[in-house]
């Protein structure tokens, strides 16, 4: 394990940000932290990176109980807000953080060039980020965290407020850097991002991890039903009864020409249902499979994108 958080508690005045949080990060994985506003995602990161102390519990990073300089050198942190020197050039920004992480001399120069190249910022290396677009600033924000090739990269909502092209660039980058061996801890409000890049997801709510697993595994464990909707030309009265006999089907309703079939999740019965309906001339088919968003809603009772930012 690279990170182990055991029964971690953090309070801000009367508010409990982390309530006996238990979280582990394994080497080589991309773990997504999902949670509504105030779930404690950012506080978890602040505790991990030493920006705030936990009131109780134990945090272990790279096997050490204390976040020393050795552990800090092995971590790269991309904060939720832009953390740049806006009037210095992109190169200056990356160089500065590189030096603070202990990269110097010719290695620093080559790493800066490499980082700028990876993030598509080589052409604007000597320009100040105050003139950059939101997406370019976000990429530079990441660049300052990867200059020292960290073993663990923590990204706190790295794609907030940027264009789809930059978002794709960042998501591809996360996938690539993980393939090169970097472990990634990724928080986001965007479910599709997490589904796309994360191998494991932890859903947080009210300072705790309430579900932990792969995307499919989580969905299966929480969502028990899936729905197939058919549009048929001339549905016979006997059709619902025939469909109900198919294994896994829970309900079947017909209204006008629309047949709605509800089955247990992952029952794999769509082919059989289509076979039964085929004689009545199928005009259209749609299947709604359970998503991570459904799992999230079922677990927390909250929509994920009910606001921007995460104050805790």
Partner 1 sequence: MRGMRDFLTVFKNSFKYCWSDRMGIVMLLAFPILIIFVLGNALSGYISPEYDFEEGEKIGIAVISETNSEHNALGTFLKEINIINVIYTDNLTALELLEDGEVNIIVGTDLSVTRPPVGNLSTQIAMSVVDSYSQISAAMETAIKNGENPAELMPLIESNISVVESPLGNRVPGAIDYYAVTMLVMILMFAGTNGLNVFEKGLFSQTGARTLTTPVSKPALIGGLLAAATVTAYIQGMITFLFSWAVYGVYWGERIHLVLLTLFGVTLFSQVFAIFMILLLKSPNAAMGGMQCIIWVMTFVAGGYVKIDFGEMNNVFQYSPNSLAHTVIFGSIFGGNETKMMSDLALLFVYSAVLFILAFLLGKRRISK
Q: What is the gyration radius of the CA atoms in the chain, in angstroms?
A: 24
* Cβ contact 116:143 at 8 Å: yes
The Cα–Cα gap between 92 and 55 comes to 37
Element (H, E) at 179: helix 164-179
Stretch in the footprint of partner 1 (CB under 8 A) among 15-23, 94-102, 176-184, 192-200 = 94-102
Q: CB of 141: closest distance to partner 1 in angstroms?
A: 9
Identify which of residues 79 and 235 has a Cβ nearer to partner 1 in the complex: 79
* Cβ contact 189:165 at 8 Å: no
The verdict on 73 binding partner 1 (CB under 8 A) reads yes
The verdict on 308 binding partner 1 (CB under 8 A) reads no
Interface residue with partner 1 among 81, 192, 241, 253 (CB under 8 A) is 81
Q: Quote the tokens at residue 307.
A: 């606001």
Q: CB of 189: closest distance to partner 1 in angstroms?
A: 18
Question: Which single residue is written with the structure tokens 């945090």?
Answer: 59
Taking CB under 8 A as the criterion, which residues in 140-199 touch partner 1? 144-145
Identify which of residues 144 and 203 has a Cβ nearer to partner 1 in the complex: 144
Identify which of residues 131 and 289 has a Cβ nearer to partner 1 in the complex: 131
Q: CB of 294: closest distance to partner 1 in angstroms?
A: 34
Interface residue with partner 1 among 13, 14, 63, 87 (CB under 8 A) is 87
Stretch in the footprint of partner 1 (CB under 8 A) among 83-91, 114-122, 228-236, 261-269 = 83-91
Q: Is 213 exposed, middle or buried (0-12, 13-18, 19+ CB in 10 A)?
A: middle
Termini Cα distance of the chain: 25
Q: CB of 71: closest distance to partner 1 in angstroms?
A: 9
Identify which of residues 75 and 194 has a Cβ nearer to partner 1 in the complex: 75
Instruction: Give the CA count within 13 Å in the CB-facing half-sphere of 284.
Output: 6
With CB under 8 A as the rule, give the number of residues binding partner 1: 30
The Cα–Cα gap between 89 and 130 comes to 9
Degrees to nearest 5, angle at CA 280 with 277 and 281 = 95
The Cα–Cα gap between 227 and 119 comes to 41
The site map against partner 1 for 40-69 (x = CB under 8 A) is ---------xxxxx---------------x
Cα-based distances in Å from 284 to 13, 110, 243, 255: 57, 57, 17, 15
Cβ-based neighbours of 228, under 8 Å, separated by 6 or more = 260, 261, 263, 270, 273, 285, 286, 287, 288
Q: CB of 225: closest distance to partner 1 in angstroms?
A: 44
Identify which of residues 162 and 201 has a Cβ nearer to partner 1 in the complex: 162
- The residue count for the chain: 312
The verdict on 236 binding partner 1 (CB under 8 A) reads no
Identify which of residues 92 and 225 has a Cβ nearer to partner 1 in the complex: 92
The verdict on 250 binding partner 1 (CB under 8 A) reads no
Stretch in the footprint of partner 1 (CB under 8 A) among 8-16, 79-87, 116-124, 175-183 = 79-87
The verdict on 10 binding partner 1 (CB under 8 A) reads no
**Which residues contact partner 1 (rule: CB under 8 A)?**
49-53, 69-70, 72-73, 75, 77, 79, 81-85, 87-88, 92, 96-97, 99-102, 104, 128, 144-145
């Amino acid at each position: 394990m690279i990170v182990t958080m055991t029964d971690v508690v953090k309070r801000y005045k009367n508010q409990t940000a982390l309530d006996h949080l238990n979280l582990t990060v394994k080497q080589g994985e991309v773990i997504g932290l999902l949670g509504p506003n105030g779930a404690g995602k950012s506080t978890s990161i602040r505790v991990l990176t030493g920006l705030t102390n936990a009131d109780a519990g134990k945090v272990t990073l790279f096997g050490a109980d204390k976040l020393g300089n050795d552990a800090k050198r092995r971590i790269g942190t991309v904060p939720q807000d832009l953390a740049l020197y806006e009037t210095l050039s992109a190169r200056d920004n990356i160089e500065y953080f590189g030096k603070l992480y202990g990269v110097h001399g010719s290695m620093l120069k080559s790493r800066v060039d490499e980082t700028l190249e990876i993030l598509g910022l080589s052409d604007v290396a000597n320009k100040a980020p105050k003139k950059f677009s939101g997406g370019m600033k976000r990429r530079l924000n990441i660049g300052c965290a990867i200059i020292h090739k960290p073993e663990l990269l923590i990204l706190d909502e790295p794609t907030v407020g940027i264009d789809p092209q930059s978002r794709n660039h960042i998501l591809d980058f996360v996938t690539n850097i993980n393939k090169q061996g970097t472990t990634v801890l990724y928080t986001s409000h965007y479910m599709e991002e997490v589904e796309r890049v994360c191998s494991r997801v932890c859903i947080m709510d009210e300072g705790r991890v309430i579900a932990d697993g792969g995307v499919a595994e989580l969905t299966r464990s929480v969502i028990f039903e899936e729905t197939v909707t058919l549009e048929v030309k001339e549905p016979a009265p006997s059709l619902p009864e025939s469909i109900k006999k198919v294994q896994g089907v829970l309900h079947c309703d017909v209204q006008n020409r629309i047949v709605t079939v509800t089955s247990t999740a992952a029952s794999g019965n769509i082919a059989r249902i289509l076979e039964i309906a085929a004689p009545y001339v199928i005009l259209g088919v749609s299947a709604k499979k359970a998503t991570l968003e459904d799992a999230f809603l079922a677990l927390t009772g909250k929509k994920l994108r009910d606001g921007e930012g995460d104050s805790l």
